[in-house]
Structure 1
Amino acid sequence: MAEADHALFNGDYPAAITEYTTALAASSDSDIRAAALLGQGRLHYLTGVYPNALNEFRAVIDSYSESTQVADAYYFLGETLMLLNRYAEASEAFANYLTIRPGVLDAFINERRADALAATGDYGAALTAYIAAVQSPRLPTNFSVELKLAQTYVVLGDYVTAQVVYDDIFARTGSEDIKAQVDYARGQMFTALGQVEQATTAYVDAVFNFPHAYFSYLGLIELVNAGYPVDELQRGLVDYYAGQYSIAQIALDRYLSGSPSDPSTALYYKGLIMRDQDEYAEALTLWDAVIQGGETSSFWDSAWEQKAYTQWAYLEDYAAGEKTLLDFVAVAPTHPRAAEFLFDAGRVAERDKRLEDAARIWQRIPVEYPNSEYVYRALFHSAICHYRLADYSSAQTVFWQAQNLATTPAERAGAYFWTGKSQAAQGDAASAQATWQQAAPLDPTGYYSERSRDMLNNHTPFTLPELIDLGIDRQSELRQAELWMRTTFNYPSETDFSVPGPLAGDPRYIRGIEFWHLGMVDLAEAEFNDLRDGSTNDPLTSYRLAVFLSDLGLYRQAILSARQVLDLAGLDDAGTLTAPVLFSHIRFGAYFPDLVVPAAQDNGFHPLFVWSVIRQESLFDPSIQSSAGAFGLMQILPATGEEIVSRIGWPPDYTQADLLRPDVNITLGIDYLATQRDNLGGDLYAALAAYNGGPGNAAAWQSLANGDPDLLVEIVRFDETRQYLKGIYEVFTIYSHLYGRAP
């Protein structure tokens, strides 16, 4: 069974179903047979074979009624029936779960039961279940249950209580989206009651106070359909934020055709709409009108910014974009954003490959805006331009100026590293070595200090250790860590460090474990994250969480908990590596080894490199989804996943949900990374840049770097991608030190 459960954890469904089937056939033990049947049912549920899943869950319930698996079987039976629209049966299954396992997930299961009852039309029973859900212990809410509760009161005709619930939600939430949703729901309720004035008040509140929210757009539709005279500017803004650009333009035009009190806002947003419709000349004209209206407009600086961005990014007229930014600085040299615009002007010149102009612009910043946050970056980028022009003497001079103005160890290390590179390029190897000697200890574990050590040792980037050892003596590490905890935090000798210890009684721990066992990783994460957040000043609880969660398989929360302990000990990044190795093995774990090692080797990567990428992408959380829509351990976009699957012909019957399976995600992610590497001549920096910033961009950056990997990192024009490259390199260095061995 352990092999089957591990395969399910890895998302290797074929292996898991084989193991569960084998266990069921080979064992006469009722507990093992019940667990195997439940496992088979879960796999059929996950893969959409619902008739088989129903049979297997019912077999657990009917044939092994004394098994601890029965409650789980009822839960999965309920979810399967929900997918089949058999809501009455689903409600009964959820009720049976609550009977067998009360006081654990009461809020969640009651909500699911209420959803099922509402779908059958039994709103009275649904109301009772929603009330039970609201009253049961749970994490701070996004108010989804309360909103359902209020709507159920509306359906049942209890408008007074519904209003009380809506008012409570509105008062307690800090989310503008939820406030707008409440306003819209109240408007709908008042409309149904024929209370037009109250409905209008609710819709108007949403439209005027929360224009970004989608429910405000729905409220606007109600107002317009009712003939209510909505301010055309506000109407245009709400339409714009809802993505209804054509309608927004009409409203803004009506506003501008009258006697507008705030024409600059309308002109600014109309410019954005025109650009979206590829009407670039019209957009520029509109922003010029905002600019000519003077600095009193709240969108004055933004109009300059959008004008410049449209010129260089859309029209590829870099000189015009640069001029717009420089004109802003000339017109408003004391504006709070003047230094930012001057910095951006240098960026535009650099994109246009006018490196001398870029260097000159950037070197203005420390002179004209010496107190600006852009001073160091401007000097650093200016020096990089000189280096790219092979003017190594000027580069060295400016890097040294940057070093003198650096405010952090990382900045000083960067300036020293590139000073050394400039000296080496001039043939002064001795001075370069001396400079790198100064850089290496400045920011231990930081990118530039690590690269300085590489230069001193004549190592190219991503130099691999000759041997690696993934073996861990967990019990020995635990003993060392406990001794360190006692000494560091002055715990008395009788302190119990057992895991989970007192955590076992915390409701969040109890719910988290149950969510985990039911496969709801995101909800388990939320419970343990809340528990960790509540322990920011408690090293012992944080320690227990780190150890327990790493054993459980919730690696992201384990990593964060371990770092929390080290922070409480007052350790900086370098200091954390002097703590007992248990903490490093948790924070930089060789997780999913049976998936990572073979896939890495099959694609010509070292496993340490792949672990570094996965850690940077997801902190080993297979359930994570980014705001950009990327999924899983290696953060794969759905379109990219489909392209890879189409090319390699695996896995069969692929769906987007498969990206949350570690087995699939790691296989696809490593394949995609290998493709980028091969397309870019084996360059790992460029491959990583392609993985994060796009293949076309990476190819362009690589061509500008002329084979210098350090220069490629600096040429990368996306701040996120540049930090991504540095972050992976820092993590790779730690992995190499942690697991590397001398022959």
Structure 2
Amino acid sequence: IDTSPPLRYKFSMIKKSIIYSMVAILLLASCTRNITTSPLSQSTNSTDQWTPTPTVTPTPTPEVRVLNGESLLITGDYDQAYNEFLVSSTQSSDPELIASALLGMGKALLLKEDYFGTVNQFSTFLINYPSGEARDTSFFFLAKAYDALEQYRLAADAYASYLSALPGPLDSEIHEMRGNSLFNYGDFTGAIGAYEAALATATGNRYDQLQIELAQAAASAGDNERAINIYLGLIETSQNGYTKAQSNLLLGRIYLQMGMTEQAYARFQDSVDNYPEAYDSYSALVQLVEDGQPVNQLNRGIIDYNVEQYGVAIEALTNYMDANPQHDATAHIYKALSFYEINQFENEIAEWDKVITDHSTEDQNYFRAFDEKSYTQWLSLNQFTEAAQTCLTFVASVPTSANAPVMLEKAARIYVDGGYLSLAAETYERIFTEYPGSEQAYYGLFKAGILYYRMGDFSKAQITFQRLIVLTDNPEEQAADYMWVAKSFEKLNDNAAAQEYFQKAASAAPSGYYGIRAAEILAGQAPLAQLQNIDLAANLES
């Protein structure tokens, strides 16, 4: 079994999305609200008659260049953004605008991952600009650069400067970032203080994660008692299984360090038994297996499947079923899914067949077995007739199931994909015939009509679409039915009937696609002819 990645690395991955969101928010918010642009020209005489002049491309003002730079940061063109900010900083005489441009240059360097350049940019900027909003904002981006360079003490100081200069609604997130920097630096006491400050206003899942970070800092500072109490509280109160599994793992490791192996294994077993979907349960499983502790083989197989260890998952699930002949379908399902992931499709199908044969009373699993088996036959093995037959077998075995019309529709789609249009049309018709009140009934019959038309059976297509007309009161659907009746009559050389139904289509939904197209046909126009006459010229006199 593979061992888990370093714990702090995993925590950093969890927080990446929050950090990136923070950067994006501050990129958008920083120093753009005070930038205004003036009109390029202003008329001095409202009675002057307008005279056309050649189009000119004005040189962007420094204000516009800063706004352009911010837009380019958002679209990811960091080099061009840097250039826009640079030109603006050299062309403007407005100190506030220059500060915004210099801040933008630093942001562009940070996003380019030029961290040394970012530090140099902001260090010079802070010396030359002792006050101002742009200066205050720069502390955050400077901190991110220091973090990337693993200069954690300097990063923590920069975060502190930002919090002091610009307190606001994101303080909790900034305190957490500062706590992470202090933790990485080894100042665990400082990290505890930062996490406590972050917790003061944290809500939701962030509160749980901050508690875990606080417990880690406490344990690293030697206060195991506090860390244990925090973890036990999370296990008791958290509504998140991932949080519980992570707390179990970290608490178990503390117990191991303290020589309390029985308590440690109890924590690991709790995760394996109750939170198999969590990655930290896999780490707990690894510890138990390496220490020779017995584990539930079903849960072991599920956990191994979830972390993509398919070979050992299959082995564990097989061992479980051998030891427990009176099992439900769960082990077969995860074994089938594991075989699918390693492209052993025949073995996968064999497991689904065992669910179908031995667990027919488990309604949801019984349907799932037919559904998954048919997908593998269809999409992985290109066995179109076999896949369709799998769907039809389910319908025959449980005709009263709510999934029966769903499987009929799926069988029809498989037949279409395989080129068996006649079988597809017949199967679509079965939906309406056998399950007229189902959600799939109307469109099943409509698709049958389309297939008859495609196969050249225009008489059957016409009859099918005429059946549909009385089955709906939706004008768009009625227009579609009228249109296809008309097209079928047209192919049958009954032009009078065709014209009649084109007219009905046009009247049923005059603003819908089929209504518009029917009107065009009646007028002898090409499709969407009216769009060809749209005048895109500017009305310069309005």
Q: TM-score range by the shorter chain?
A: 0.7 to 0.9
Instruction: Give the CA deviation at 1:229.
Output: 1.7
CA contact (8 A) 2:359 2:366 kept: yes
Instruction: Give the CA deviation at 1:352.
Output: 1.2
Distance in 1 (CA, whole Å) between partners of 2:181 and 2:538 is 48
CA contact (8 A) 1:380 1:398 kept: yes
CA contact (8 A) 1:416 1:438 kept: no
TM-score normalised to structure 2 length: 0.78
Please identify, of 57-66 and 112-121, the stretch whose mean Cα deviation from structure 2 is larger: 57-66
Partner of 2:534: 466
Partner of 1:270: 335
Distance in 1 (CA, whole Å) between partners of 2:472 and 2:272 is 47
Paired letter, 1:162: A
CA contact (8 A) 2:69 2:85 kept: no
Residue 150 of structure 1: SS of its match in structure 2? helix
Instruction: Give the CA deviation at 1:88.
Output: 0.7
Distance in 1 (CA, whole Å) between partners of 2:206 and 2:473 is 41
Change (3 A) 1:256 1:15: closer
Paired letter, 2:206: T
Distance in 2 (CA, whole Å) between partners of 1:142 and 1:452 is 56
Paired letter, 2:65: E
* 1:18 aligns with one of 83, 90, 115: 83
Please identify, of 243-252 and 325-334, the stretch whose mean Cα deviation from structure 2 is larger: 325-334
Please identify, of 289-298 and 138-147, the stretch whose mean Cα deviation from structure 2 is larger: 138-147
Distance in 2 (CA, whole Å) between partners of 1:142 and 1:437 is 60
* 2:455 aligns with one of 379, 389, 397: 389
CA contact (8 A) 2:144 2:155 kept: yes
Partner of 1:6: 68
Distance in 1 (CA, whole Å) between partners of 2:441 and 2:410 is 13
Paired letter, 2:265: T
Instruction: Give the CA deviation at 1:410.
Output: 5.9
Asked if 1:358 corresponds to 2:424, the answer is yes
CA contact (8 A) 2:506 2:514 kept: no
Instruction: Give the CA deviation at 1:117.
Output: 0.6
Residue 382 of structure 2: SS of its match in structure 1? coil
Residue 400 of structure 2: SS of its match in structure 1? coil
Paired letter, 2:273: F
Distance in 2 (CA, whole Å) between partners of 1:470 and 1:20 is 33
Partner of 1:699: none
Partner of 2:506: 437
Change (3 A) 1:115 1:464: farther
Partner of 1:336: 402
> Cα RMSD over matched residues?
3.0
Change (3 A) 1:235 1:394: same
**Paired residues for 1:45-444 under 5 Å:** 45-136=110-201, 141=206, 143-170=208-235, 173-262=238-327, 264-297=329-362, 299-406=365-472, 411-412=477-478, 414-416=480-482, 418-423=484-489, 425-426=491-492, 428=495, 429-440=498-509
Distance in 1 (CA, whole Å) between partners of 2:371 and 2:268 is 34
Paired letter, 2:527: T
Change (3 A) 1:389 1:173: farther
Change (3 A) 1:192 1:413: farther
CA contact (8 A) 1:41 1:57 kept: yes
Distance in 2 (CA, whole Å) between partners of 1:201 and 1:276 is 32
Change (3 A) 1:90 1:423: farther
Distance in 1 (CA, whole Å) between partners of 2:174 and 2:473 is 53
Q: Which one has more relative contact order, counting CA pairs under 8 Å at least 6 apart? A: 1
Instruction: Give the CA deviation at 1:39.
Output: 1.3
Residue 300 of structure 1: SS of its match in structure 2? helix
Paired letter, 1:351: D
- State the Cα deviation string for residues 150-200 of structure 1 (Å, max 9, x = none): 222222233443344335545665443333333333333333333333333
Distance in 1 (CA, whole Å) between partners of 2:258 and 2:477 is 64
Distance in 1 (CA, whole Å) between partners of 2:119 and 2:438 is 65
Distance in 2 (CA, whole Å) between partners of 1:3 and 1:171 is 55
**Paired residues for 1:529-678 under 5 Å:** none
Paired letter, 1:452: G
Distance in 2 (CA, whole Å) between partners of 1:409 and 1:94 is 61
Paired letter, 1:265: T
Change (3 A) 1:251 1:140: closer
CA contact (8 A) 1:339 1:365 kept: yes
How many residue pairs get aligned? The number is: 467
- State the Cα deviation string for residues 577-601 of structure 1 (Å, max 9, x = none): xxxxxxxxxxxxxxxxxxxxxxxxx
CA contact (8 A) 1:424 1:432 kept: no
Distance in 2 (CA, whole Å) between partners of 1:468 and 1:340 is 47
Partner of 1:514: none
**Paired residues for 1:684-703 under 5 Å:** none
Instruction: Give the CA deviation at 1:231.
Output: 1.8
CA contact (8 A) 1:346 1:362 kept: yes
Please identify, of 24-33 and 358-367, the stretch whose mean Cα deviation from structure 2 is larger: 24-33
Change (3 A) 1:238 1:419: farther
Larger-Rg structure: 2
